[in-house]
Amino acid sequence: MAEGFLNRDDIRAGLEQLGQIAVAQNMRFELVVIGGACMVLAYNARVATRDVDVAILRPQDASRIREAARMVAAERNWPEDWLNDAAQGYLVGLSEGPTVFSAPGIEVRRPSVAQLLAMKLSAWRDDVDIADARRLLQELSPVTAQEAAWKMIEPYLVPGRQLKARYAFLDIWEALYGDA
């Protein structure tokens, strides 16, 4: 971990260690990675991120994985919240996405591109969100027209942030593809 950031290798090593803890406890962890860590793992869109935002699917008792994450943090001298579910407020439903990391005791998926993009458009906080949204729109749009892309994103938008997200979407679309 360099200067408060986790790179791809750090994230993978931390997740693998979580899996080892799960195996030792005769458990299996299933996570959905979202946010910056997803951009690092699934898209190589960034070099690093500050934390690993996840939705915990399994075990149902999330305290088990939180305790395992604290054990990893202590051993690696990482912040205690290196793995957290704080970004779940941006998840509206949960789409099926592919597995981005798997090791004994752990499987990590990502949501669909449309859902990830909806989360970034709903957050729309800084240049990092803008860069991530731009990358995700490029991933989604090569085969999709503007309104079709929006219809894919719309179901996953955070309530109360739809208008903000729509303007952000149109801004990125225009920057990438010109006026539609």
The pLDDT tens digits of the residues spanning 57-99 come to 999 999 999 999 999 999 999 999 999 998 888 899 999 899 9
In this structure, the answer to whether residues 56 and 138 fall within a common structural domain is no
Confidence of residue 33 (pLDDT cuts 50, 70, 90): very high
Domain that holds residue 88: 6-111
68 within a domain of the structure (yes/no) = yes
pTM of the full structure: 0.91
Q: Which strand (E) or helix (H) includes residue 52?
A: strand 52-58
In this structure, the answer to whether residues 103 and 53 fall within a common structural domain is yes
The residue among 153, 162, 161 whose CA lies nearest residue 114 is: 153
In this structure, the answer to whether residues 103 and 122 fall within a common structural domain is no
> What integer pLDDT is reported at residue 2 of this predicted model?
56
Number of domains in the chain: 2
142 within a domain of the structure (yes/no) = yes
> What integer pLDDT is reported at residue 1 of this predicted model?
59
In this structure, the answer to whether residues 30 and 104 fall within a common structural domain is yes
In this structure, the answer to whether residues 79 and 162 fall within a common structural domain is no
Share of the chain above pLDDT 70, in %: 97
Q: Is residue 108 predicted with pLDDT exceeding 90?
A: yes
In this structure, the answer to whether residues 101 and 167 fall within a common structural domain is no
In this structure, the answer to whether residues 54 and 122 fall within a common structural domain is no
Over residues 151-171, the mean pLDDT reads 95
Tokens linked to 14: 């931390």
**Phi, psi (degrees; rounded to nearest 5) at 53:** -85, 130
How far apart, in whole angstroms, are the C-alpha atoms of residue 40 and residue 35? 9
- HSE-CB of 163 using CA atoms within 13 angstroms: 1
- Average pLDDT over the chain reads 93
82 within a domain of the structure (yes/no) = yes
In this structure, the answer to whether residues 52 and 77 fall within a common structural domain is yes
In this structure, the answer to whether residues 107 and 118 fall within a common structural domain is no
Over residues 162-176, the mean pLDDT reads 95
Q: Which of 111, 129, 157 is the last residue of a domain?
A: 111
Q: Which of 78, 111, 144 is the last residue of a domain?
A: 111
In this structure, are residues 147 and 177 in contact, taking their beta carbons and an 8 Å threshold?
no
